[in-house]
Amino acid sequence: MPDQLLARVEACYQQAERFFTRSFARPSVSLRLRGLKAGVAHLQENHLRFNAQLYRENRVHFLQQTVAHEVAHLIAHQLYGASIRPHGPQWQAIMTRVYGLPAERCHHYAVKRPQRVHYLYRCACPDGQFPFTARRHALVLEGRRYLCRRCRTALTFSGECNNTTD
């Protein structure tokens, strides 16, 4: 776990404790989040998960904004309970009044989508070529059959194609 990330989480908690003149239980923290989200606060578990790739690529803003954003969720939960809206007025007040940051709901980091492998299937038609996702290909391997709508023949595997991004 990067020291800067943990130090920023701790700094956010100390700032909230000074503001509210009370202590807050510290969360567990991990960098085991992938995909589009920069961070997630698990309220019941008092746990923060951050996206390691987005942290590496946007370190300064991530430490300033994203860490405070997720800590604010846990602080709001400890103060007001589970009945508040995730980005409601209580959370917004913590972001603006406690941390002096904009109460932005979403990040604006560039997220690189992974290149996906497609599996090509063919039928008897001259131009009958169909790219299958990994999930659909797995279903075929489990015994599912797909038919061409035009020629009504079973689609058969003809090879992998990994030059697409969807």
Q: What is the pLDDT of residue 114?
A: 65
Q: What is the pLDDT of residue 20?
A: 98
Catalytic hit among 10, 45, 70, 104: 70
- Determine the structural domain holding residue 153 and report its residue range: 116-164
Residue 92 CA: distances (Å) to CA of 18, 82, 95, 96, 101: 18, 16, 5, 6, 9
Query: Looking at the domain assignment, is residue 67 inside a domain?
Result: yes
| One domain, residues 75 and 122 | no
Q: What is the pLDDT of residue 1?
A: 77
Q: What is the pLDDT of residue 79?
A: 97
| One domain, residues 7 and 72 | yes
pTM, rounded to two decimals: 0.70
Which pLDDT tens digits describe the chain residue by residue (166 residues)? 789 999 999 999 999 999 999 999 999 999 999 888 999 999 999 999 999 999 999 999 999 999 999 999 999 999 999 899 999 999 999 999 999 999 999 988 988 766 677 899 999 998 888 888 888 999 999 999 999 999 999 999 988 776 544 4
| One domain, residues 133 and 57 | no
CATH number of the domain bearing residue 27? 3.30.2010.10
Query: Looking at the domain assignment, is residue 108 inside a domain?
Result: no
Q: What is the pLDDT of residue 162?
A: 61
Q: Is-catalytic flag, 10?
A: no
| One domain, residues 72 and 11 | yes
* Surface-to-core class of residue 90, CB atoms within 10 Å of its CB (0-12 exposed, 13-18 middle, 19+ buried): middle
Cβ 52 vs Cβ 38: under 8 Å: no
| One domain, residues 26 and 85 | yes
Q: What is the pLDDT of residue 159?
A: 82
Number of independent structural domains in the chain:
2
| One domain, residues 86 and 155 | no
